[in-house]
């Protein structure tokens, strides 16, 4: 009411005609503005014969009496609005929008548009004034309600904030840097606008529980932000079997827990026992299982963790099952052709065993027996086997025996010396000696005969063939032997015959 009275007084003061319905204007009756920022009052007007006056029409804004907020003659603008206002609309196009920058708390209006066509017509739209509500701080931006956020699936998040400063709208930024965003400016009416920023990105499992913040920076420096906690659903990851004991005795029991990281939390588990190359599915479906009677052969387990997003297998764990040493039946002694004895004591044991060889009932004494021993770890490419080898050339009496000890117990085994091999060895040696002896004898005879042949080889041959027996008797023993040899050679008789002849003599 007070305001209306004021306007009537103004009307009188400014000596203007009261505008009839041919003088049209469209302005908001009230709008808001942010202190320190800017505000644009949208304005559209129309006067009779508007097109005729386009060249000369002037526009101005005032408040109260003749207090000009904006005027083509800037000297007429009141001090407190100087250099802060601009009539940004194009009057020829009916646009009379006013911009006020660096908005102050008392820039509340009411603001009134006035036009003047010099010497023809002028008037203020007193019935259509604009009131401005000044806010000290900006409103918080709003992030739209997020749909389900799935790891690895494209996501679009919208953040919006209202403002009334079309020329310098707020700038929206996101805390998420690895994404793209698009900005939209939508008119909401009465000089108000809404800025939308649509962020597009692919959320990762690692973004779960992270805060997504949208910040709006307003013209003039003020800013406001808002954030949401991202609930990213993802299939279980880091699936691991956890257990307390670093080692377990064979036959004992153990608790295994299938631990995983997932959102939503895992709802189902599956357990598997790997035995050799077979995978056995266990009936349990809980996160923790109790395994009875663990054994060295069934010590490998893996689990599967499942939630609404899928399932993931853990890596296979092999429990450290401890058991007393076992000397495998493949352990044996052999003797090779050179006479080297090799004994292998193959032990399956966890923890690793101490293996000792005993020879003739006492611990191996290298200087005594000439036998050496050494170990090979994980021989036969099998875990937990150690082979201790006993090796040497020197013959010895007594049977070797091997004993293996670990924290879980002891095992021992006696070995028979490979006797059949030894016989072969002796036979080979005897045969070798004989051959060498014969070879040596033959060599000697051959040398002597060759000496005689050099004297008269042809005659000797004829003589040998036709000579009567009595003459032979006169010869020396060596000659006889030589003659017989010649005969043997002539008739190509086997060398063994010669040996017999020689022996008979």
Site for ligand NAG in 203-242 (CB under 6 A): 228-229, 231
- Alpha-carbon separation of residue 41 from 1, 28, 36, 131, 409 (angstroms): 23, 8, 16, 10, 95
Site for ligand NAG in 179-198 (CB under 6 A): 184, 186, 196
Tell me how far, at minimum, the Cβ of 283 lies from ligand NAG, in Å.
Answer: 15
Distance CA 463, CA 484 (A): 12
**Contact of 304 with 314, CB cutoff 8 Å:** yes
Q: Report which DSSP code applies to 146.
A: P
Compare residues 19 and 386 and give the one whose CB is closer to ligand NAG.
386
Q: How many CB atoms lie within 10 A of CB 22?
A: 9
Site for ligand NAG in 458-477 (CB under 6 A): none
Query: Could you please report the per-residue DSSP string of 371-434?
Result: -EEEEEETGGG-TTEEEEEEEESS---S-EEEEEEETTEEEEEE----HHHHHHHHHHHHHHHH
Distance CA 243, CA 240 (A): 10
Question: Site for ligand NAG (CB under 6 A): how many residues?
Answer: 22
Binding mask 105-144 for ligand NAG (x = CB under 6 A): ----------------------------------------
Tell me how far, at minimum, the Cβ of 90 lies from ligand NAG, in Å.
Answer: 23
Rule CB under 6 A: choose which of 92, 293, 414, 500 binds ligand NAG.
293
Q: If binding is defined by CB under 6 A, does position 295 make contact with ligand NAG?
A: yes
Which of these, 315, 328, 466, lies nearest to 384 by C-alpha position?
Answer: 328
Site for ligand NAG in 308-347 (CB under 6 A): 313
Binding mask 373-412 for ligand NAG (x = CB under 6 A): --x-x-----------------------------------
Tell me how far, at minimum, the Cβ of 324 lies from ligand NAG, in Å.
Answer: 14
Tell me how far, at minimum, the Cβ of 280 lies from ligand NAG, in Å.
Answer: 10
Q: If binding is defined by CB under 6 A, does position 74 make contact with ligand NAG?
A: no
Compare residues 279 and 285 and give the one whose CB is closer to ligand NAG.
279
Binding mask 349-368 for ligand NAG (x = CB under 6 A): ---x------------x-xx
Rule CB under 6 A: choose which of 146, 198, 358, 493 binds ligand NAG.
146
Tell me how far, at minimum, the Cβ of 15 lies from ligand NAG, in Å.
Answer: 46
- Residue 400: which residues within 8 A CB-CB, separation 6 or more? 333, 343, 357, 358, 359, 390, 414, 415, 417
Distance CA 250, CA 245 (A): 13
| 57: enclosing H helix or E strand | none
Reduced to 3 states (helix: H, G, I; strand: E, B; else coil), residue 495 is helix
Distance CA 76, CA 117 (A): 17
Which of these, 373, 396, 394, 377, lies nearest to 385 by C-alpha position?
Answer: 377
Tell me how far, at minimum, the Cβ of 279 lies from ligand NAG, in Å.
Answer: 5
Tell me how far, at minimum, the Cβ of 116 lies from ligand NAG, in Å.
Answer: 37
Q: How many CB atoms lie within 10 A of CB 504?
A: 6
Residue 484: phi, psi to the nearest 5? -60, -40
Rule CB under 6 A: choose which of 178, 397, 476, 504 binds ligand NAG.
178
Q: Report which DSSP code applies to 95.
A: B
Q: If binding is defined by CB under 6 A, does position 175 make contact with ligand NAG?
A: no
Chain residues that interact with ligand NAG, rule: CB under 6 A: 146, 178, 184, 186, 196, 202, 228-229, 231, 251, 272, 279, 293, 295, 304, 313, 352, 365, 367-368, 375, 377
């Amino acid at each position: 009411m007070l305001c209306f009275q004021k306007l009537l007084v103004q009307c009188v003061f400014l000596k203007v005609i009261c505008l009839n319905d041919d003088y049209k204007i469209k302005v908001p009756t009230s709008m808001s503005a942010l202190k320190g920022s800017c505000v644009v009052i949208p304005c559209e007007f129309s006067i009779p014969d508007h097109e005729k006056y386009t060249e000369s029409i002037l526009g101005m804004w005032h408040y109260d009496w003749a207090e000009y907020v904006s005027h083509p003659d800037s000297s007429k603008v009141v001090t407190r609005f100087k250099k802060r206002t601009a009539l940004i609309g194009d009057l020829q196009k009916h646009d009379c929008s006013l911009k006020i920058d660096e908005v102050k708390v008392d820039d509340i209006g009411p603001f009134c548009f006035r036009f003047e066509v010099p010497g023809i017509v002028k008037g203020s739209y007193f019935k259509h004034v604009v009131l401005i509500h000044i806010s000290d701080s900006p409103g918080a931006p709003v992030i739209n309600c997020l749909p389900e956020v799935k790891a690895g699936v494209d996501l679009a998040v919208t953040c919006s904030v209202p403002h009334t400063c079309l020329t310098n709208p707020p700038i929206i930024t996101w805390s998420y840097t690895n994404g793209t965003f698009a900005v939209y400016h939508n008119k909401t009416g009465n000089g108000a606008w809404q800025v939308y920023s649509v962020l597009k990105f692919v959320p990762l499992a690692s973004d779960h529980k992270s805060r997504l913040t949208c910040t709006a920076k307003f013209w003039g420096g003020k800013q406001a932000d808002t954030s949401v906690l991202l609930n990213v659903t993802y299939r279980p990851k880091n699936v691991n079997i956890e257990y307390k004991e670093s080692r377990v005795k064979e036959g004992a029991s153990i608790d295994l827990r299938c631990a995983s990281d997932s959102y939503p939390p895992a709802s189902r588990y599956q357990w598997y026992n790997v035995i050799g190359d077979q995978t056995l599915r266990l009936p349990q479906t809980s996160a923790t299982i109790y395994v009875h009677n663990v054994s060295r052969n069934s010590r490998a387990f893996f689990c599967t963790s499942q939630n609404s997003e899928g399932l993931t297998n853990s890596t296979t764990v092999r429990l450290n099952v401890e058991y007393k040493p076992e000397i495998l039946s493949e352990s044996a002694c052999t003797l090779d052709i050179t006479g080297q004895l090799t004994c292998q004591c193959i032990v399956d044991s966890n923890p690793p065993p101490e293996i000792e060889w005993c020879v003739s009932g006492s611990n191996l004494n290298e200087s005594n027996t000439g036998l050496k021993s050494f170990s090979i770890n994980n021989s036969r490419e099998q875990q937990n086997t150690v082979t201790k080898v006993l090796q040497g050339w020197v013959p010895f009496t007594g049977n070797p025996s091997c004993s293996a000890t670990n924290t879980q117990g002891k095992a021992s085994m006696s070995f028979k010396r490979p006797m059949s091999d030894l016989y072969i060895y002796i036979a080979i040696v005897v045969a070798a000696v004989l051959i060498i002896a014969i070879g040596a004898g033959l060599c000697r005879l051959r040398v002597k005969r060759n000496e005689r042949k050099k004297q008269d080889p042809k005659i000797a041959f004829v003589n040998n063939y036709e000579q009567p027996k009595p003459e032979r008797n006169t010869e020396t023993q060596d000659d006889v032997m030589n003659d017989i040899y010649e005969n043997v050679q002539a008739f190509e008789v086997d060398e063994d015959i010669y040996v017999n002849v020689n022996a008979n003599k």
